[in-house]
Amino acid sequence: MDLESVMKKFDRESNIRIWEGKPKVLVTCILAAFSIFCLYVTLFASWLEEIRLTSFVAFIVLLGYIVYPAKKGLQKVNYMPWYDILLMLCGTGAFLYYTANAMTIIQQGSNFEAYQIIIGILGIISIAEVCRRSVGLPIIIVAGCFVLYALTAGLSNPSLWGKLNYIVHYLFYGKEGILSTPVNVCSKFIVVFIIFGAFLERTGIADFFIKISNSIVGGFSGGPAKVAVVASALEGMVSGSSVANTVGSGSVTIPLMKKTGYKGEFAAAAEASASTGGQIMPPIMGAAAFLMADYVAVPYSNIVIRAILPAILYFAGVFIAVHLEANKDGLKGISREDLPR
């Protein structure tokens, strides 16, 4: 089965619009410009935090609607519905308004005009929809419940407008809502690692990981399953995504496991278990390590060092389970002639 279609079916982040021809070139240029912008802001710029974060989120909203459709399924080529364009313009414009008027808004305190509240609401709704498209509905339901609680019972202000004013100030204009620690860490650290990881993947590193894993453990009893464990651990160091890890290495290792004699169910389970561990394999760890470092106020290297032993124990556990299964069924490894040098 086509790998891209598998990713689109099971990984929400891979379910993207189809752009071809000149529109594809334009979208690619915008994405490249965003990467350069992130590198510049992280490494060289000394902007006010409100300007840096709002411009970053404005880019995210713009690209979110360009890249992600409203729902899964077959997408029309070079097609973007009018409501997506409207949401994109409203959301991007809301955050760019904050960027352009950052100093004025900071000096305002909590005294906002009606139009500023409306701008804030548009910004919140637009980024919530981008979140739903790229991550899923559950997190939006949780966040929505908290906002609903604040509107109905959580705030002492008796008027609905007063509650709305406070919520928009807190979520959109303050540093405790959208512009809080997760977005701050993402704009400073995570995005740079993702860009460098993308460069590394384009070098064919995934194929190299599978070959080097084959050369190390492929000849042992039940070798292909052990290759899946080692390759998933290596790929996890780069991607931090369990789905991408499973598809990337599993497309090679699962057929090899079945050819060696493993049952299809066990082959899939071994690959899925090993690939899931990619999210706890330093240094990327699915972006969690960056948030942990910022929340507990310790160096990022400290988190990475502490994560090494649990990751090794996890993969050792999967490796041992695979080894025992291979011995139980008397499965042999890959012949020496078929192993890569």
Q: Name every residue whose Cβ is closer than 8 Å to that of residue 142 and which is 6 or more positions away in sequence.
A: none
What was the pLDDT predicted at 131? 92
Contact criterion met (CB below 8 Å) for 268 and 254: yes
Going by the DSSP 8-state scheme, the letter that residue 240 receives in this structure is -
Lowest mean pLDDT among 145-149, 159-163, 188-192, 325-329: 159-163
Paired residues of 77 in beta bridges: 18
CB atoms within 10 A of CB 283: 17
Say what percent of the chain tops pLDDT 70: 94
Q: What is the pLDDT of residue 309?
A: 94
d(CA 251, CA 261): 17
pLDDT at residue 154 in the model: 63
Q: Mind listing the pLDDT tens digit for each residue in 265-323?
A: 988 898 889 888 888 888 878 677 888 888 888 888 898 899 899 999 999 999 999 88
pLDDT at 73: 66
State the pLDDT confidence band at 158, using cuts at 50, 70 and 90.
low
What digits encode the pLDDT tens for the residues 61-76? 999 999 999 887 657 8
Contact assessment for residue 283 and residue 237, using Cβ atoms and an 8 Å cutoff: yes
**Residue 222 pLDDT:** 79
